[in-house]
Amino acid sequence: MNTVGKIVGVYPGNFQPPHRGHLSAYKRLQQYSRENTFVITTDYDPTINAPLHFGDKEQILTRLGIPSNRIEKVEKLIDPNTHRFVQPEEILQDFDEKSTTIIYALQQPIAKNLLRYSDYYKNVTEVGGKYEPYKKHSYILIIDDSKIDGKIVTSDKIREALGSHKWTKEQKEEFFKYFFGWFDLGLFELLKNKYTNAQQSDIQVIPPEGGQEVFPGAPENIREILSKEIVDILNELMGLPPSIATDPSYGANNSIATNDIPLNQQTADKENKIDLVKQKKQAEDDKKRNLTQYKRDKDSVHNYDKYLKKQDQEKVDALNKQITQVTKPTSTLT
């Protein structure tokens, strides 16, 4: 028997992984659709940058507080030919198309494209407003699911933080609590292992931001735009200065006696040190990449141990020496 006169809220996304920002967006959509608010997501074969299958995502979404009977697996989200969302029949089969309204919760870049390409979609007005049934129109609620406590935290940055070799297990546990609002050892180990394995690959794939699918026309440089803010958040969590490479040789523990050095020289030294830290990180990344390539192609690469390995380490050691070198005060005559 069909349900008549309802508003159904549909929140589609990849959710790799879901986090507190997605929960906030879901609750905002609930203001319109109340108990008929659903999350829909796919179960594609895992990839390097999207390693979670539907069961993983469902487990996290449920743990965040979304009822399991409001989480639905769908085959695909967007029809590339019509630029419309594929109607989630798994949900809508219980609702009358002539009297039921659908409201989709979407990020702004995706929403703008849908509104531009199709007259079928309209913007929502206020909660409790008058809306057409989905046989005639569907509606879009623009949400921002990339924020936690007012700070931008996208799903790809969560993958980087939990999979990075730069952080200890204890630090990653703190990140996990911040991203999800709770701690579950089983889910922590699952995500940490999957994202660590993903970062060990040299394959470079730009993943979708947040929980949403990539849609034609979305900003190509969104990763670059968000990168600095996420680094600042992670540094803030670790008690480090904003936008400075997280390197133990930089900061309060460095050995330069700045009180005896002219201000302009201090500034130059600081800028030089930041540049050296960046060079050191690049050298370490090169070393790791060469080692990874060697392990993969060891049957054909014979000179790594004899040449590249020594060269890589010498480069890192030389940069370390420059970074930690004490700047001697400049004497002045009076």
pLDDT in tens, the chain (334 residues): 344 579 999 999 999 999 999 999 999 999 999 999 999 999 987 887 789 999 999 999 999 999 999 999 998 887 777 666 788 988 998 899 999 999 999 999 889 988 888 889 999 988 888 899 999 999 999 999 999 988 998 888 899 999 998 899 999 999 999 999 999 999 999 999 999 887 765 444 444 444 443 333 334 444 444 455 555 555 554 444 443 333 333 333 333 333 445 555 666 676 777 777 777 777 777 777 777 666 655 544 444 555 566 677 777 777 787 777 755 454 444 3
Please tell me whether residue 72 adopts helix, strand or coil conformation. Answer: strand
69, two tokens = 């009977």
The neighbour count for residue 267, using CB atoms within 10 Å, is: 11
Question: Which candidate, 151, 242, 193, places its Cα nearest to that of 56?
Answer: 193
Give me the helix-helix angle, 155-163 and 185-199, nearest 10°.
90
State residue 235's pLDDT score: 53
How many Å apart are CA 112 and CA 37, to the nearest integer? 22
Q: What angle do CA 31, 37, 40 make, to 5 degrees?
A: 135
First to last CA, the chain: 96
How many Å apart are CA 275 and CA 269, to the nearest integer? 10
**Largest separation between any pair of C-alpha atoms in the chain:** 96
Q: Which residue has the tokens 């809306």?
A: 131
Please tell me whether residue 310 adopts helix, strand or coil conformation. Answer: helix
Which residues, other chains included, contact 305 with Cβ-Cβ below 8 Å and sequence gap of 6+? none
Q: Which residue has the tokens 């911040």?
A: 178
Tell me how many helices (H) and strands (E) the chain has.
Answer: 10, 10
State residue 257's pLDDT score: 36
State residue 247's pLDDT score: 35
Please tell me whether residue 142 adopts helix, strand or coil conformation. Answer: strand
Residue 323 pairs in a beta bridge with: none
Does pTM surpass 0.85? no
